[in-house]
Chains A and B, each alone.
Chain A
């Protein structure tokens, strides 16, 4: 079983994230490789929604993580914050709008749009099929890869966006919607192709069905275990999320975990979940669309 830590972000601290991240990684027995010279950090940038919406990683979180990495490795370590263009998002605008350009200047780190980087083609065998993906060289050549994810709901049947789905964002292809028919398989394949050393969750603001201050930092070396714990927090059953089952089968990690730190239940009650009313409305909408009334009622 893998360790998953949960830490409440301290409210009275000059460096709240740094303190919380330090505790979180200590609790999962992770030690930075002091010889690391090239570090890649993958935050979760989603469209142009800022961190107050709970949809994207706070630049402040990444800033304090950078400080910590430099203390634990070397002040001269090369750090790159990476993201790729998406169907509706361009990195050149997202980096600027979401505060990452300012962060890069202040912390002297590189901002890398993976879509514009050199990549190598990698075949990944998965459940009897072979999937081909491009792996950016900056990721394959990094000594230390850190994933900073967010807990969010996403399309069925994947249901959950968290650590493993954030690695899907390292896929340099811009039109990622083409993977939607087999999104679960693509997520697992990319996690196999690009294993990261450390997975963190910045859930200071939870996205859920509406943003809510939650003050949670999580850490694990196992993305499957981390996503399983995150699923519980979001009110989902990890055993009913197909990509987690597949990931375990493919050896990416284990669904069984040991939670250390704050009790998971504390955060589970804070996470903004869909209400019965919301779920009913969604079902009614789906039914109306299915019977052909969607367009007439402006639902499509």
Chain B
């Protein structure tokens, strides 16, 4: 039987999830909720029949099995708790919450209500990173001594090179109390999560944070972290660049390995869309949703879990506290 899926928040990343969820073979998008009329109209245009202005009304739908939460970070705890209490499984966008304390409450809410909680970390479903994990486990790289991860882009701002018109940036992005921080929590959580998958838990982490744009949040971060595997990694993230780059380099005693997660060139992207209806860049987003639905159907625990989200956030806050001044 198909899982009935709801989505709370269908702007930005929520709309991306919606488009992918509509392609799922083992689930149907039953309803969506958003406070924005235009976002709901866009969802309707994509074929969603049931739309709600108030997500609490949507949660009263008995047929609903699971909910994707794609809201601003400061709303994660309340919404995740409401969804869990309504006995719906939770797929929560990263980061799990704006603070470590809230992250613990999100996990507790899922546990107390016996619902599944999965965090949205698509990079974990990128085939190249999964192959890298296998190679590390099989000793192909030897001992990974050092790693270097870079994730730079324009963050919440539109890339000048996108060819799209500039889009407004919601006020909450400019408020670190609502986001939990800046570029490091936004992009760094992807990298920390990925490195934890490959290299073990974070033992120590220190960070240098940049404020090129003079805002109350960091727009760049350069962190050094040591993992339980013994690997020391440099993590470089930033919202300052008009050029998207997500790259991971691992340097082992036997071999080096590099993986990039980049949007394909426009011609290649158009060809991929025509042929398969999805680009290689977006495939991990679809795969993570397919996996989440499988976890519900097979009653297995999803990964990345709420605990993963908490560990990522703990590492990020440790870096915020252990500041290096250069």
B161: A residues at CB distance < 8 A: 210
Q: Cβ of B166: which chain A residues have Cβ within 8 Å of it? A: 46-47, 87-89
B279 at the interface (CB under 8 A from A): yes
Q: Is the CB of B269 within 8 A of A88?
A: no
Closest to B216 in A: A96
Q: Quick check: A101 and B214 within 8 Å, CB to CB?
A: yes
**Is A257 in the interface zone, CB < 8 Å from B?**
no
A290 at the B interface (CB under 8 A) = no
Q: Which residue of B lies closest to A47 (CB)?
A: B166
Residue on B nearest A49 in the bound complex, by CB: B160
Q: Which residues of the partner chain B approach A288 to less than 8 Å between Cβ atoms?
A: 270
Chain A interface size band reads 20 to 34
> Contact string, B148-159, partner A, CB cutoff 8 A, digits 1/0?
000000000110
Residues in B neighbouring A89, C-beta threshold 8 A: 166, 168
B160/A96 in contact, CB under 8 A: no
User: Does A55 make an interface contact (CB < 8 A)?
Assistant: yes
Q: Taking chain B's interface residues, is the majority helix, strand, or loop, or is none over half, making it mixed?
A: loop
Chain B residues with CB under 8 Å of A298's CB are: 269-270, 273, 279
Asked if residues A53 and B168 are in contact (CB atoms below 8 Å), the reply is: no
A291 interface contact, C-beta 8 A: no
**B160 close to A55 (CB less than 8 A):** yes
Which DSSP category, helix, strand, loop or mixed, fits chain A's interface? loop
Min C-beta distance of A244 to chain B, whole Å: 24
| A16 and B169 alpha carbons, distance in the complex (Å) | 34
State A299–B215 Cα separation when bound (angstroms). 34
Taking the closest CB of chain B, its distance from the CB of A177, in whole angstroms, is: 8
Let me know if B326 is at the binding interface, CB within 8 A.
no
Q: How far is the CA of A85 from the CA of B253 in the complex (A)?
A: 55
Q: How far is the CB of A45 from chain B (nearest CB, A)?
A: 11
Is A281 within 8 A of B266, CB to CB? yes
Report A148-164 residues with CB < 8 Å from chain B CB.
Answer: none
B172 is an interface residue with CB less than 8 A from chain A: no
Q: A49, B242: Cβ atoms under 8 Å?
A: yes
B168 pairs with A99, CB closer than 8 A: no
- Asked if A133 CB lies within 8 Å of chain B CBs, one says no
Chain A residues closer than 8 Å to B273, beta-carbon distance: 296-298
Bound: A53/B279 CA distance, A:
28
Taking the complex as formed, is A125 at the interface, i.e. its CB lies under 8 A from any CB of chain B?
no
- Chain B residues whose CB sits within 8 angstroms of the CB of A293 once the complex forms: 274
Is A93 part of the contact surface with B, judged by Cβ < 8 Å? yes
Listed from nearest, the 8 A-B pairs whose CB atoms lie closest are A88-B166, A47-B166, A298-B273, A97-B213, A297-B270, A297-B273, A88-B168, A48-B157
- List chain B positions with a Cβ less than 8 A from chain A: 157-158, 160-161, 165-169, 174, 212-215, 242, 266-267, 269-271, 273-274, 277, 279
- With A288-B270, A298-B269 known, 19 other A-B pairs at CB within 8 A are A48-B213, A49-B157, A49-B242, A87-B165, A87-B166, A87-B168, A88-B158, A88-B165, A88-B166, A88-B168, A89-B166, A97-B213, A98-B213, A102-B214, A281-B267, A296-B273, A297-B270, A297-B274, A298-B279
